[in-house]
């Protein structure tokens, strides 16, 4: 009786849907359904991406090869060489009457209303292309870090020399309007950026950004490197010395990237690995390992007597062994010695391991104010092609550590190799601070700029690095998800297997109300999101740059990982030529491999597109409106209509029109059925036809299908959730779905009381597949949390099966608190036919039905968390077995027994549950939650995971050695002497330039 009353009522509420589908059948004859050719599609997408990235490389090359800029460089370098020896080291001159736009100071006035020095009038206008940040597209300006004197003669010379880049920047942007930031980072520390901006300092008024610390600068300036950091922790290093030494280690670690390998060794009278797990080897210098080293270094304590020879021997053995085994970078090798003095005889070590070739460079950092052992420390560096610096304060660390990069760059500079490098994904800190998160994840393309004068050839002078940023969102627009079906997607990875772009990459986490970057957001491996690729077949093939296909049965999840789905995915992959990247694409078997091709006339299409009840996906690209600034004012719907009307023939509107012009003709017929709020239709081409039967003031689902309701609209990132669920729903069966409206200020699990018939007074609810829709219990809660005893019985009976899902980007917490809000009740009935969903929104609150409805899978409650840190987690998913139509059981709970009955509601995804309410089983049966649990690894497994070296593809070029690079004379191995010479050079240049 209960079963049929429920099913009949639901049938009455959606009886108009077949009428809509009859109208759809009338136009089925003019639809052509074609299979997507995955191989052709991945080739087309990759070629588009290759062309786009190629245009960015051309722009960067122009910055290096521009004649006016090059002439400036040559002229500048000529002055340096000609007058280098003519001025005494103590000479002091200034470059007079030369001002520039300092990005920190522009548009700043003094108390008298006059622009301050270096802060003249600099027009700025908000620019949509730069995410509405105020910019000056006519010229660049210059940022100088707080720790660099902004009127240093060497800084002024470099800024003067780089003025010619303004025209190149502007011309590049004119020829390629898709360009974003272009820049030049000088080896002296200044940063010229185009378009010019007003630089925002941190909360302390400090400009901490130093271009020489950025990955694009470091990777362009040097080839890959194997680094062993050796730190003295003997008793003499106590106090401030140890603090400086730790800061030096951390700064060196910050100069490393995913193509580099590293280890850290501490020594007294014996050798100690900072991480014992890494004994005798090198590990990849990805973000996880670097941060791990920093934590361990912070715990170092001083004791004993320092003997450097043992540490040197151990370091050379490691470098020799990894090179012999073909591990590590197989390029530059260096040892960084951090000490307050080398007291013992170490010459024999170098004779045994490094001379005469000196393949391993030694960089020495003398810590503290004492200079007693400076000669020994300098001798080590000078006789091993390295560099010696004296660091007496914390403020000295940053600048002195950076010097080793210039030494390592000398072979590349002498070879005149303008290698182009691409960085891993990174988060632009400036844009993040401005909340311009659509430009959040970037990759950079960069090239080194060096002296071209023959006279300076053996010196290997690196002048700086030029580069440009590419928002990864713009790259992935060339492989839009809407062309790959409801569950399809595209992704990019680096040569190291790390993700550049992937729909499952989650770089941010929520800490209270703030979004913060995860510590390891740019070192997420492909195997951590495509975790069904157990043998890493897909990852290995892509990292090697191969082209091919692969099929996998996967456990996917939708609705923020709450609803498990079992899919068969076909992967198509290839390499992006001239980059270290590989491109992959996924098509899901079934609807994901099918595409509509419409054959209606333009007149019919225009008639439908101008219908007031029709909208199209605002974020999809039906017409290219970004190319011509004149077209940017049009929405996609406006652009399509104007193109079809012949008013904008220059618009590029091709591919999507074939899909758009299939029958939006399907009509949503009106209904007088009580409780129906909204009826809507969605198609794979992004069309939504929508009819409202109640106004906003009476509508329960006030946000549903409004612009704020991103989850249920066609967006750049996904198909609507109701569409994706309906695609996997068996044909001919209605799908009931309850969206959740997040509201941080309200309780999310409030009780909804409904009128009950007398015979139901003793039972709490009627339910269906685990996600509560209507009940006298708490709406939206996972049923296992409400009644663990019945949920356990359902799993035991086989009606529901528990599966494990994994998240390798988890953030584990030390504590949490729940927050929830009362939710009004609504359910959406979806019916699918040939990729078109017709839906009706029903307000159950307006009906006489008393039931609790749940969907196939589960709902996580919103949580506020604190003390989060990266971790791997496992969480449950529950799948309904549709072959079991009904079940019942008697649960014994101490002195009482609980009876329940479950029946499937015909032609739907609902089940009806009747539960005896007067027997409390909470003591015998704990609730079943959806909380993820941290995966704990034992010490050996954790160690193996940390030091394992997955398959990777090394960069194509390596510049570790050049015969013209000879050991520096002792007089040039000292940072203080180099500083004097640099000033002589800059003064000479200033005199000639003026």
pLDDT digits (tens, 9 = 90+) for 716-775: 888 888 888 888 777 778 888 776 655 543 433 322 223 323 333 333 344 444 555 444
CA–CA separation, 535 vs 520, rounded Å? 23
Q: Is 414 helix (H, G, I), strand (E, B) or coil?
A: helix
HSE value, Cβ hemisphere, 13 Å, CA-based, for 537: 11
| CA atoms 81, 86, 92, 95: torsion sign | negative
Residue-level pLDDT at 554: 92
Residue-level pLDDT at 861: 37
Residues 6+ apart with CB under 8 A from 629: 177
In the predicted model, residues of the chain with pLDDT beneath 70 are: 1-32, 66-98, 429-439, 452-460, 596-601, 654-675, 739-780, 814-867, 963-994
**46 φψ region: left (φ > 0), alpha (ψ -120 to 50), beta (else):** alpha
Please say whether the beta carbons of 873 and 932 come within 8 A. yes
Residue-level pLDDT at 820: 41
Q: Which residues, listed in sequence order, are joined to residue 251 by a DSSP beta bridge? A: none
Q: Which residue has the tokens 């009128």?
A: 755
| Residue (of 528, 506, 527) closest to 518 by Cα position | 506
CA–CA separation, 183 vs 446, rounded Å? 9
H-helix or E-strand spanning residue 52: helix 38-65
Please say whether the beta carbons of 14 and 829 come within 8 A. yes
Please say whether the beta carbons of 200 and 434 come within 8 A. yes
Residue-level pLDDT at 430: 56
Return the ∠ at Cα 948 (arms to 942 and 953), rounded to 5°: 150
Q: Which residue has the tokens 């009522």?
A: 9
**E strands, 20-122, where?**
31-35
Q: Is 135 helix (H, G, I), strand (E, B) or coil?
A: strand
DSSP character at residue 935:
P
H-helix or E-strand spanning residue 838: strand 836-842
Residues in the chain: 994
H-helix or E-strand spanning residue 915: strand 911-915
- The radius of gyration computed from the CA coordinates of the chain, to the nearest angstrom, equals 33
Q: Which residues, listed in sequence order, are joined to residue 570 by a DSSP beta bridge? A: 551, 587
> Which contacts qualify for 102-108: CB closer than 8 Å, 24 or more apart?
102/141, 102/142, 102/143, 102/144, 102/150, 103/141, 103/142, 103/143, 103/193, 103/196, 103/197, 103/198, 103/199, 104/143, 104/144, 104/199, 104/201, 104/207, 106/141, 106/196, 106/198, 107/198
Residue-level pLDDT at 327: 92
Please say whether the beta carbons of 133 and 197 come within 8 A. yes
DSSP character at residue 507:
-
| Structure confidence by residue, pLDDT tens digits, 28-83 | 555 667 788 899 999 999 999 999 999 999 999 998 876 455 555 555 544 444 44
pTM of this structure:
0.83
Three-state secondary structure along 268-336?
Answer: CCCEEECCHHHCCCCEECCHHHHHHHHHHHHCCCCCCCCCHHHHHHHHHHHHHHHHHCCCCCCCEEEEE
Q: Is 358 helix (H, G, I), strand (E, B) or coil?
A: coil
Tell me the DSSP string of 368-400.
Answer: SS--TTHHHHHHHHHTTT-EEEEE-SGGGHHHH
């Amino acid at each position: 009786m209960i079963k049929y009353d429920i099913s009949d009522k639901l049938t009455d509420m959606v009886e108009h849907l077949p009428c809509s589908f009859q109208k759809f059948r009338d136009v089925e004859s003019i639809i052509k359904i074609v299979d997507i050719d995955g191989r052709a599609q991945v080739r087309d997408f990759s070629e588009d991406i290759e062309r786009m990235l190629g245009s960015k490389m051309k722009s960067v090359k122009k910055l290096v090869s521009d004649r006016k800029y090059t002439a400036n460089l040559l002229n500048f370098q000529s002055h340096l060489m000609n007058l280098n020896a003519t001025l005494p080291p103590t000479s002091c001159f200034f470059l007079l009457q030369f001002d520039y736009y300092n990005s920190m100071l522009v548009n700043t006035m003094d108390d008298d209303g006059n622009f301050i020095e270096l802060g003249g009038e600099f027009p700025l206008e908000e620019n949509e292309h730069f995410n509405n940040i105020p910019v000056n597209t006519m010229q660049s300006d210059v940022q100088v870090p707080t720790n660099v004197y902004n009127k240093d003669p060497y800084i002024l010379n470099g800024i003067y020399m780089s003025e010619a880049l303004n025209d190149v920047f502007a011309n590049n942007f004119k020829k390629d309007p898709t360009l974003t930031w272009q820049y030049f980072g000088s080896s002296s520390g200044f940063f010229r950026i185009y378009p010019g901006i007003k630089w925002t300092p941190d909360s302390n008024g400090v400009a901490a950004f130093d271009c020489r610390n950025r990955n694009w600068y470091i990777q362009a300036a040097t080839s890959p490197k194997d680094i062993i950091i050796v730190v003295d922790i003997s008793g003499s290093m106590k106090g401030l010395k140890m603090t400086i030494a730790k800061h030096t280690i951390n700064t060196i670690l910050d100069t490393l990237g995913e193509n580099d390998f590293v280890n850290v060794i501490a020594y007294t009278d014996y050798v100690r690995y900072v991480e014992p797990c890494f004994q005798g080897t090198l590990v990849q210098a990805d973000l996880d390992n670097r941060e791990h080293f920093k934590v361990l270094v912070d715990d170092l304590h001083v004791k004993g007597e320092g003997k450097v020879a043992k540490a040197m021997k151990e370091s050379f053995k490691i470098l020799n062994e990894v090179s012999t085994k073909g591990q590590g970078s197989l390029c530059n090798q260096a040892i960084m010695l951090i000490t307050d003095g080398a007291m013992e005889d170490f010459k024999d070590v170098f004779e045994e391991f490094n001379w005469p070739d000196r393949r391993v460079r030694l960089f020495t950092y003398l810590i503290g104010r004492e200079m007693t052992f400076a000669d020994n420390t300098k001798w080590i560096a000078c006789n091993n092609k390295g560099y010696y610096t004296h660091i007496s304060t914390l403020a000295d660390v940053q600048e002195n550590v950076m010097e080793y990069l210039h030494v390592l760059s000398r072979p590349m500079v002498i070879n005149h190799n303008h290698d182009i490098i691409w960085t891993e994904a990174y988060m632009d800190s400036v844009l993040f601070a401005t909340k311009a998160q659509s430009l959040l994840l970037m990759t950079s393309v960069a090239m080194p700029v060096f002296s071209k004068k023959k006279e300076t050839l053996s010196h290997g002078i690196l002048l700086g690095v030029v580069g440009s940023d590419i928002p990864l969102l713009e790259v992935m627009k060339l492989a839009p998800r809407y062309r790959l079906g409801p569950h399809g997607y595209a992704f990019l990875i680096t040569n190291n297997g790390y993700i550049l772009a992937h729909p499952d990459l989650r770089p941010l986490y929520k800490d209270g109300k703030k979004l913060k970057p995860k510590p390891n957001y740019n070192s997420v491996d492909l195997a951590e999101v495509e975790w069904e690729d157990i043998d890493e077949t897909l990852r290995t093939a892509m990292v090697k740059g191969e082209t091919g296909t692969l099929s996998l049965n996967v456990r996917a999840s939708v609705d923020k990982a709450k609803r498990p789905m079992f899919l068969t995915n076909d992967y198509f992959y290839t390499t992006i030529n001239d980059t270290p990247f590989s491109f992959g694409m996924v098509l899901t078997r079934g609807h994901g491999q099918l595409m509509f091709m419409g054959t209606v006339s333009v007149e019919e299409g225009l008639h439908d597109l101008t219908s007031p009840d029709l909208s199209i996906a605002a974020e999809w690209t039906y017409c290219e409106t970004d190319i011509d600034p004149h077209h940017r004012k049009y929405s996609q719907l406006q652009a399509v209509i104007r193109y079809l009307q012949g008013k904008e023939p220059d618009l590029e509107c091709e591919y999507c029109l074939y899909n758009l012009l299939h029958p939006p003709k399907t009509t949503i017929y009106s209904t007088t059925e009580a409780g129906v709020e909204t009826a809507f239709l969605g198609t794979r081409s992004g069309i939504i036809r929508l009819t409202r039967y109640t106004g906003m003031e009476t509508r329960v689902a006030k946000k549903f299908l409004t612009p704020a309701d991103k989850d249920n609209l066609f967006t750049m990132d996904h198909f609507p959730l109701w569409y994706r669920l309906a695609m996997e729903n068996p044909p001919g069966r209605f799908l009931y779905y309850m969206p959740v409206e997040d509201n941080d200020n309200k309780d999310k699990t409030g009780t909804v009381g409904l009128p009950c018939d007398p015979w139901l007074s003793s039972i709490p609810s009627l339910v269906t597949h685990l996600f509560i829709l209507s009940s006298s219990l708490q709406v939206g809660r996972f049923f296992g949390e409400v009644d663990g005893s019945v949920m356990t019985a359902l799993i035991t009976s086989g009606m529901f099966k528990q599966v494990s899902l994994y998240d390798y980007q988890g953030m584990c917490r030390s504590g949490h608190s729940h927050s929830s809000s009362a939710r009004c009740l609504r359910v959406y009935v979806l019916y699918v036919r040939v990729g078109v969903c017709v839906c009706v929104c029903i307000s159950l609150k307006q009906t006489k039905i008393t039931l609790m409805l749940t969907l196939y899978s589960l709902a996580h409650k919103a949580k506020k968390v604190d003390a989060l840190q990266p971790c791997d987690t496992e969480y449950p998913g529950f799948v309904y077995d549709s072959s079991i139509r009904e079940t019942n059981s008697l649960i014994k709970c101490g002195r009482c027994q609980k009876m329940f009955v479950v029946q499937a509601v015909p032609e739907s995804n609902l089940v009806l549950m009747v539960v005896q309410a007067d027997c409390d089983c909470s003591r015998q049966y704990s609730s079943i939650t959806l909380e993820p649990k941290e995966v704990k690894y034992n010490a050996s497994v954790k160690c193996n995971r940390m030091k394992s070296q997955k398959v990777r593809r090394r960069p194509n070029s390596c510049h570790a050695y050049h015969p013209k690079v000879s050991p520096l004379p002792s007089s040039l191995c000292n940072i203080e002497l180099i500083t004097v010479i640099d000033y002589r050079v800059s003064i000479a240049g200033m005199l000639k330039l003026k």
